[in-house]
Amino acid sequence: MKRFILAATVSLMALSTAQAAVTEADVANDQTITSQVVTNGMGRNLQRFSPLDAINKDTVGSLVPAWAFSMGGEKQRGQETQPLVYDGIMYVTGSYSRLYAIDVKTGKEIWQYDARLPEGILPCCDVINRGAAIYGDNIYFGTLDARLVALNLKTGDVVWNKKIADYRAGYSYTAAPLIVNGLIVTGNSGGEFGIVGEVQARNAETGDLVWTRPVIEGHMGTLNGEESTMTGTLNATWPGDMWKTGGGATWLGGSYDADTDTLVFGTGNPAPWNSHLRNAGAPTEGNVGDNLYAASRLGIDPATGEIKWHFQTTPREGWDFDGVNEVVAFTDREGNDRFATADRNGFFYVLNRADGKFVSAVPFVKDISWASGIDENGRPIYNEDNRPGDPSAATDGDKGEMVFAIPSFLGGKNWMPMAYSQRTGNFYVPSNEWGMDIWNEPVTYREGAAYLGSGFTIKPLFEDYIGSLKAIDPDSGEIKWEYKNDAPLWAGVMTTAGGLVFTGTPEGEFIALDDETGEKLWSFQTGSGIVGQPITWEMDGEQYVSVASGWGGAVPLWGGEVANRVNYLNQGGMIWTFKLAK
């Protein structure tokens, strides 16, 4: 449903100054075209780095609000979006599958689209949306009932509306789509419901499917409407029929490495959480029980959907350590082309970009208990005593032995995107120091019902902080500095050529840190917790910075003792835009 709030003079002005349609070149060069932001991650490599430097260490103290926009109404909840900017308009997605077009000079609403969500949607972790993508004359975003919508950039009219999957079976969609060579590429959500993770590619103009790639072994892909190839080898790493409801949701979306022409998608937890039901309760020979390709990173051919390579961060996963966290392409200080990813399991990995092969891994959170390290092949060295126990072996009731595992199932790092600085060569990783009591329980699959087989309670590790933004040298693995925060960090990070690291806190502070020291140089209280993703762009010779404010997401829903610790935080829904005072 689309709604106009627009003065005729503003509409005529926008139409008369309209730029040409967004091209593949515009998308490919999004990081360096400083007047626009048309991709999630400010570039398909997801570095979230801007070459703009007017706002820098010396000037950031003069940063002031230019305008603020309210997302309004009762539909607040978590606002995890990343704004987009093109041709004088900012596009922002909101909770409950809304999309706004805002005049970037004044902050006034141009149009608003509200998805007509049906009864019975099953979002796992709040009614959030993480952003959109622009290509041609359209803007694309997904909805909580697992649909993909194309809207006209200027009018908000629906161009097409396509079904990704059946929401009644537990599927949903929250990530920003990815545009590559005229294809719009999406994943899916719903790993807690026994769904099957999949990557889909559609013709951006028509919405027609080009290919599909399920990410759990045994399932068939498609190409141009026909079956293509099977994912993996049937029953190579899954017992019996459990692959049919194997999880592996691709819920955070993907990145694209142009140098190798490769899509890179992460996959979520295998289903159910109870690893003993998946033949994964004890060390096994070969790959039996690894449950491919859950908890993995996949390199995919964008033209055909074929899997080029895989790297599984947590084989025999049993703690809900999703492997979906973003994979960022970069070049190290010695000139090697690398990928970096900070996994939910607490380890920071570097992979080779040509083939996804393991290069290195280091812990980035404290006191990891489930593994003692990572071996030379990139596989975890398990502490089997820290795997939740097998319920079938229980002697007292039907629960398996409870363990206290670190990190918690919300991860050393969750969805919130890290950033890479081309200025320092370091990554800036939002992390959390927490653990959990976790135990396994019997469970059977029922369509549309939770399929966990586990119980849990999250607990903070330290009295004085939970959140920790860390500057990590990817070459050495050294943590260069750490910025501690009382509440968990759940917002995205952005770096700039001005030597700044921008992020936000649940307490409502939007902050700028020194990229070399971690010193806080500037902050602004937005009035609600920040779980959004900042951007920066240039207009009329001035640099602007924007971020969404609105507390929510998984922490208040799933956070156990941590949720109680932050239950005083207020919800909201605002877009704040800043520039330097004159």
Residue numbers annotated as active site: 320
Across the beta sheet with 2-4, what order do the strands follow?
2-4, 109-114, 98-103, 89-94, 84-86
Q: How far apart are CA 543 and CA 195, in angstroms?
A: 44
Give the C-alpha distances (Å, rounded to integers) separating 12 from 8, 17, 110, 465: 6, 9, 12, 51
- Supply 334's token pair: 């010695």
Q: How far apart are CA 109 and CA 484, in angstroms?
A: 36
- Reference 112, options 75, 78, 145; nearest CA is 75
Q: How far apart are CA 392 and CA 53, in angstroms?
A: 60
The enclosing H or E element of 12 equals: helix 8-16
| Amino acid identity for residue 463 in this structure | E
Give residues with Cβ within 8 angstroms of 500, minimum separation 6.
55, 56, 57, 60, 512, 513, 514, 515, 521
* Owner of token pair 């955070």: 252
Helix (H, G, I), strand (E, B) or coil at 277: helix
- Reference 254, options 36, 122, 30, 417; nearest CA is 417
The enclosing H or E element of 467 equals: strand 467-472
Helix (H, G, I), strand (E, B) or coil at 481: strand
- Reference 305, options 433, 475, 187; nearest CA is 187
Counting runs of H as helices and runs of E as strands, what totals does the chain give?
A: 4, 41
| Amino acid identity for residue 446 in this structure | R
Q: How far apart are CA 51 and CA 62, in angstroms?
A: 19
Using an 8 Å Cβ cutoff, are 415 and 407 in contact? no
Please state the φ and ψ torsions of residue 547, each to the nearest 5 degrees: -155, 150
Cα of 156 vs its chain's centroid, Å: 25
> In sequence order, what are the beta bridge partners of 133?
140
Q: How far apart are CA 273 and CA 295, in angstroms?
A: 12
Using an 8 Å Cβ cutoff, are 353 and 335 in contact? no
Vertex 531, ends 527 and 537: CA angle to 5°? 90
Q: How far apart are CA 149 and CA 443, in angstroms?
A: 35
Q: How far apart are CA 220 and CA 436, in angstroms?
A: 37
Q: How far apart are CA 94 and CA 323, in angstroms?
A: 25
CA torsion angle for 154, 155, 159, 164 (degrees, to 10)? 90
